Amino acid sequence: MSAAYDRLDREVMITEMMRLGFGGTTCKFLISMYSGDSIKFDINGETTEPLYMTYGVKQGDSFSSTLFNVTSMRVVKAANATRRGLEIGKRLLSLLAFADDKFSITKNPQDHNEMLKLIGRECKQINMKINMEKSKLMRKGGGIEGEILPELEEVKIFKYLGVEIEHKVGVYILQSTMLLREGNK
């Protein structure tokens, strides 16, 4: 996600927190923390009227990544509910997520395409979308004749949260490094 923290819809953030069971005190605190903040510009010695902020979380605030994670929890839950993914130990892994980095794992092209559609639909519910230009595809082998995959750059190695991941895992992987607020390109 590029500038995802800047584009997080505050109203959606509060709605998602309430949907997840966060109650009055927490939501009231966040509403007060994110209400009425504004910026003014000084242009040639003239100060503009305040521009009130309705999107974004505070940069440098250690709580911002938590707010982003809570807001995008619906995407993670929906992906994990598909039962598509890779079993590691006794857990089925379909989607790794931390703030604006998402990492989807599927076993075959059909699951990959379905997961991509599902992530796109769920992101739309929170006014975000996958940036396909920043997303990567990693897979084992040369693919299947006639398979239909999105136009993604194929890679053999990439980093997710600072960890190098190689194509040796034998599954289809979509790394979505960027989600954008719906309507922003």
Would you say 103 and 135 are in contact if contact means Cβ atoms under 8 Å apart? no
CA 165 to chain CA centroid, Å, is 19
Would you say 95 and 105 are in contact if contact means Cβ atoms under 8 Å apart? yes
| Segment 101-130 mean pLDDT | 81
Q: What CA–CA distance (Å, rounded) separates 79 from 116?
A: 9
What are 63-81's pLDDT values in tens digits? 888 888 888 888 888 988 8
User: Strand 42-43 relative to strand 172-176: parallel, antiparallel, unpaired?
Assistant: unpaired
At 121, is the secondary structure helix, strand, or coil? helix
Is the whole-model pTM more than 0.75?
no
| Segment 10-18 mean pLDDT | 89
Q: What is the pLDDT of residue 41?
A: 94
What are 119-153's pLDDT values in tens digits? 889 888 888 877 777 777 766 555 666 666 666 67
- Exposed, middle or buried: residue 84 (CB in 10 Å: 0-12, 13-18, 19+)? buried
- Tokens found for residue 176: 């979505």
What are 21-61's pLDDT values in tens digits? 988 898 899 889 888 888 899 999 999 999 998 888 887 78
| pLDDT, greater one: 158 or 47 | 47
